[in-house]
Structure 1
Amino acid sequence: MTDDAEQIRTLVRRLEDAMNTRRPDLLDDVLTPDVTRHCQATPHLSITDREQFKEFLRQDAEAFPDNVQTFTQVLVDGDRAAVWATYEGTQTGPLGPFPPSGEKARFDFAGVFRIQDGRIAEMWLIWDNVTVLSQLGHFPG
């Protein structure tokens, strides 16, 4: 593996750590100021800068205060890193129009990150909302 690939892998692991330790200040060195997040699972949500991403994580932690995101696989190719990951958390707060269920969700998701000047500049994420909502009791399963 090249040094660049190892640096990118370390950067992605730093993102994972910042999210799981609830340390948004660590994201200043991980994400570009104008980071953009694309996600079909949340089409109404537009994130086009680092502060909006921090706010998204804050709101997610209000709905799932015990959430943990585990990057089980990290693959690097050029200026891109791909992750296969697991999200786990108990919904004790509202999730959009859905009231707290007290149920735990555990689901896989995938992401691709574009790296620019040593930081994550763009991300594409995807997961199955039917799986999530079914586990939380908000959708017939």
Structure 2
Amino acid sequence: MIPSEEKERVDRHKALVREFIDAINAQNWNKLDELVAIDFVRLSDATGKPGICNRDQLKEFLRREVETFPDGFESIEDILAEGDKVAIRQRFEGTQLGWMASSPSGKKLKAEYIAIYCVQNNQIVEAWVEWDNLNGLKQLGHL
């Protein structure tokens, strides 16, 4: 049985990550100042290295994502947590109307991905995000 203090902490961490996803969907970049540590790091082989190395870079990445997929929306399919980690199977859907790594296709992207967030001092300090980049490029007609 999980001690009630640990369950409450894990529930707070899951709520924080849900709030983070809601802020992204609402394009509430100021809310990220509250939810994400200033020295936040995002690691992903799908988007290349060196990744995102602070909160401002994360905001810029998300702004570019909105420019590329103006109707983009993230949803949580599954959420699990233990200790300071929150793991999510997420879904992203959006129509590519802007340019990111390739020209606008006008096609809809539907992508599931896995993200693991590390929470410390009531802020997200790190994220590991992986998705099938090849499948995404195929959906958009870039391959």
Return the match for 1:25 from 22, 30, 39: 30
Q: SS of 1:47's equivalent?
A: coil
5+ residue gaps, structure 2, are none
- The residue type paired with residue 109 of structure 2 is A
Which residue does 2:63 correspond to in 1? 58
Which residue does 1:73 correspond to in 2? 78
What are the within-5 Å matches in structure 2 for residues 1-141 of structure 1?
Answer: 2-44=7-49, 46-96=51-101, 98-139=102-143
Counterpart Cα distance in 2 of 1:133 and 1:43? 15
TM-score when scaled to structure 1? 0.95
- The residue type paired with residue 126 of structure 2 is E
The C-alpha deviation readout for 1:70-127, integer Å capped at 9, x for no partner, is 011110110000000100000000121x110000000100000111111100000000
Counterpart Cα distance in 1 of 2:51 and 2:86? 22
Counterpart Cα distance in 1 of 2:12 and 2:34? 13
Q: SS of 2:94's equivalent?
A: strand
Counterpart Cα distance in 1 of 2:98 and 2:36? 27
Pairwise CA RMSD of aligned residues? 1.0
**Offset of residue 29 of structure 1:** 1.1
**Offset of residue 45 of structure 1:** 5.1
- Across the two proteins, how many residue pairs are aligned to each other? 138
